[in-house]
Amino acid sequence: MKLFKTLLAVSVGAAMAVSSVASAKTTIGFSQIGAESEWRTANTNDVKAAAEKHNVDLKFSDAQQKQENQIKAIRTFIAQKVDLIGFVPIVATGWDNILREAKRAKIPVLIMDRDLTVSDDSLYVAKIGTDSYTEGQKVFAWLDDYITKNNIKPRDGGDKINLVILEGTVGSSAATGRAHGFDDALKASPNKDKYNILASQTGDFTRQKGQEVMESFIKSYRDKIDVLFAHNDDMALGAIQSIEAAGLKPSKDIIIVSVDGVKGIFQAMIDGKANATVECNPLQGELFFETAEKILKGESVPKSVFVEEGVYTADQAAEVFPSRKY
Ligand code: GZL
């Protein structure tokens, strides 16, 4: 009888072992910035859908826009001995120590969306992201072409096209990349002397702050402002509310160009309230989990991969809108 019991125990144990091996899903800890914009929500939804499709046990953490919450989440993932850690670095610096802890725990780290600066590039395996510098360059290229083709004249009767800029989160690679890309393209332009930047201030990528800062810009410069460049669509949408509240016509009195390509800005372009958006593609989930699978199989992956991104203008908005996925 004893032998039978032992065999039974062994067979049950083996069955459980097999079932646990068979159902042993890959566990990935993912620290997301927050839910500050339409774009971020689309990015989160895409990550969760792709995790489901790849049969990954996703431990998802929302940092409420605070770096210290991301660091805490990554430390928790290490304690949970996840197979891989993914995160969107809210700002570019301050990650060395926590990534050294992950390296000591032999847990690979895969970056999504934004970029980071570390003292040792071996602290993360790869980055799947968006090319903020090129996005900034595309903004200026579109604006300079639009101003020239439409022979736009300064509203104040002067000789300079006056811009105000709503910057993204201070210290984020998305904000610094877009700012540098725009500035470098402007400085390289034969028309560089035609432009004057009246003011540039962070709206932290949110609609609310975009509205507040634009209100202050209008108070200071009302009929001098010819162009708003917003580092993301959500801040542009907030700014449009302030422009209208001041009795000005968005896209007409003040030309509006922003970055992301979310549904809200397409609707604003259809409504004649915005002029153009440079796409920043949040649909990075598939590429993220494909790359994670390769890393976990020990395959080599490129250190940095950018997702595809286009430029969309008001005259295309109605036609393109139905096909937009975010
Ligand atoms: C860009 C991304 C930015 C978006 C904003 O890659 O990190 O963060 O442009 C979002 O809308 O808040």
166: domain CATH number? 3.40.50.2300
Q: Measured in angstroms, how far is the CA atom of residue 11 from the centroid of ligand 1?
A: 53
Look at residue 227 and tell me if it is in a domain.
Answer: yes
**Number of separate domains in the chain:** 2
Q: Measured in angstroms, how far is the CA atom of residue 176 from the centroid of ligand 1?
A: 12
Question: Can you read off the two tokens belonging to residue 322?
Answer: 């139905």
Look at residue 63 and tell me if it is in a domain.
Answer: yes
Ligand 1 atom index nearest CA of 88 = 7
Look at residue 115 and tell me if it is in a domain.
Answer: yes
Look at residue 270 and tell me if it is in a domain.
Answer: yes
54 and 95 housed in the same domain: yes
Q: Which of 280, 284, 308 to mutate to test the pocket of ligand 1 (most atoms within 8 A of CB)?
A: 280
Q: Which of 32, 36, 37 to mutate to test the pocket of ligand 1 (most atoms within 8 A of CB)?
A: 37
Look at residue 56 and tell me if it is in a domain.
Answer: yes
Q: Give the residue from 99, 278, 94 showing the smallest Cα distance to 185.
A: 278
Q: Measured in angstroms, how far is the CA atom of residue 281 from the centroid of ligand 1?
A: 9
248 and 181 housed in the same domain: yes
107 and 206 housed in the same domain: no
* pLDDT confidence of residue 309: 87
φ/ψ of residue 275, rounded to 5: -105, -35
What range defines the domain where residue 118 resides? Answer: 26-130+282-308
Q: Measured in angstroms, how far is the CA atom of residue 105 from the centroid of ligand 1?
A: 30
Per-residue pLDDT 10s for the chain (326 aa) are 444 343 444 444 454 544 444 468 999 999 999 999 999 999 999 999 999 999 999 999 999 999 999 999 999 999 999 999 999 999 999 999 999 999 999 999 999 999 999 999 999 999 999 999 999 999 999 999 999 999 999 999 999 999 999 999 999 999 999 999 999 999 999 999 999 999 999 999 999 999 999 999 999 999 999 999 999 999 999 999 999 999 999 999 999 999 999 999 999 999 999 999 999 999 999 999 999 999 999 999 999 998 888 999 999 999 999 999 89
CA distance 306 to 326: 18
Task: Provide the pairing of β-strand 84-87 with 27-32.
Answer: parallel
Centre a 10 Å sphere on the Cβ of residue 178 and count the other Cβ atoms it contains: 30
Look at residue 320 and tell me if it is in a domain.
Answer: no
Q: Measured in angstroms, how far is the CA atom of residue 155 from the centroid of ligand 1?
A: 31
139 and 86 housed in the same domain: no
275 and 286 housed in the same domain: no
Residues above pLDDT 70, as percent of the chain: 93
Ligand 1 atom index nearest CA of 129 = 6
Site residues for ligand 1, CB cut-off 6 Å: 36-37, 39-40, 113-114, 130, 174, 205, 232, 234, 259-260, 280
Residue with CA closest to ligand 1 atom 1: 174
101 and 153 housed in the same domain: no
* pLDDT confidence of residue 307: 86
Q: CA Rg, the chain, in Å?
A: 24
141 and 231 housed in the same domain: yes
Q: Give the residue from 165, 155, 223, 232 showing the smallest Cα distance to 199.
A: 165
Q: Where are the strands (E) in 150-270, listed by range?
A: 161-167, 195-202, 227-230, 255-260
Ligand 1 atom index nearest CA of 231 = 9
295 and 169 housed in the same domain: no
90 and 160 housed in the same domain: no
Look at residue 314 and tell me if it is in a domain.
Answer: no
> pTM above 0.85?
yes
